[in-house]
Amino acid sequence: MIIKSTEFIKSAVKPNQYPEGDLPEIAFAGRSNVGKSSLINVLVNRKNLVRTSSTPGRTQLINFFNVNGTFTLVDLPGYGFARVPLAVKKEWGPMMETYFAKRANLRGVVLILDVRRTPVAEDSQMLQWLRAYDIPALLVVTKCDKVSRNEQGKQADIIARTLGVLKSELCFFSAHTRNGTESVWKRIEALLDENGAS
């Protein structure tokens, strides 16, 4: 993917706040601190297009970014963070499900998982929603720089088993080494192309 331009569009909670238009869209989901924003920044080759978690606040909103004027990347709010107030936690489910249900131009969701952790209930919930709404899921296992090759293989087994997917469906990535960037882009491009976009 050749990145010519990237631009923050807006933040939203409700459908009437989502950007208008029908550009194809790819969203990024995963537990808090898993590395969603870092993955997006590496993909678009920008250090700080998306703020990483040292600046909280925006992270509880749905953030839309335009790329090349031709498609949209969406940073979804992270989940599973203990310090988030209960009221915010309660809003997360409906906010996510509404987005998946209503966003007709959504072509796929990148579900990001930490190579060192066993997936949590919200990760499985996310996959269930995607299946229910017939939205393709791309599973990216990140922070692979933190483990050995051997450990990566073992964790991949655990992650695949916990989520009930094939190990071959997992895409390995590191925002630090940038390993896996090409293969993540290839899979995203396939999702964008599938319905005649590019």
Q: Which is nearer to Mg ion, 40 or 106 (CB)?
A: 40
Report what 175 binds from Mg ion, ligand GTP, none; CB cut-off 5-8 Å by kind.
Answer: ligand GTP
The answer to whether the Cα torsion of 80, 84, 86, 92 is positive or negative is negative
Q: Which is nearer to Mg ion, 57 or 196 (CB)?
A: 57
Residue with the two structure tokens 């080759």: 45
Q: Which is nearer to Mg ion, 138 or 175 (CB)?
A: 175
CB of 140 to ligand GTP, least distance (A): 10
Report what 76 binds from ligand GTP, Mg ion, none; CB cut-off 5-8 Å by kind.
Answer: none
Q: Interface with ligand GTP by CB under 6 A: which residues?
A: 30, 32-38, 52-53, 59, 78, 142-143, 145-146, 174-176
Report what 119 binds from ligand GTP, Mg ion, none; CB cut-off 5-8 Å by kind.
Answer: none
CB of 11 to ligand GTP, least distance (A): 12
Write the single-letter amino acid at 57. Answer: G
**Cα–Cα distance measured from residue 107 to residue 84, given in angstroms and rounded to the nearest whole number:** 29
Q: Which is nearer to ligand GTP, 35 or 119 (CB)?
A: 35
Q: Which is nearer to ligand GTP, 36 or 103 (CB)?
A: 36
Report what 187 binds from ligand GTP, Mg ion, none; CB cut-off 5-8 Å by kind.
Answer: none
Is residue 37 involved in binding Mg ion (CB under 5 A)? yes
What's the 3-state SS for the chain? CCCCCEEEEEEECCHHHCCCCCCCEEEEEEECCCCHHHHHHHHCCCCCCCCCCCCCCHHHCEEEEEECCCEEEEECCCECCCCCCHHHHHHHHHHHHHHHHHCCCEEEEEEEEECCCCCCHHHHHHHHHHHHCCCCEEEEEECHHHCCHHHHHHHHHHHHHHHCCCHHHEEECCCCCCCCHHHHHHHHHHHHHHCCCC
Q: Which is nearer to ligand GTP, 146 or 193 (CB)?
A: 146
The residue with its CB nearest to ligand GTP is: 78
CB of 20 to Mg ion, least distance (A): 24
Q: Report yes or no: 112 and 78 within 8 Å, Cβ to Cβ.
A: no
Contact positions toward Mg ion, by CB under 5 A?
36-37, 59
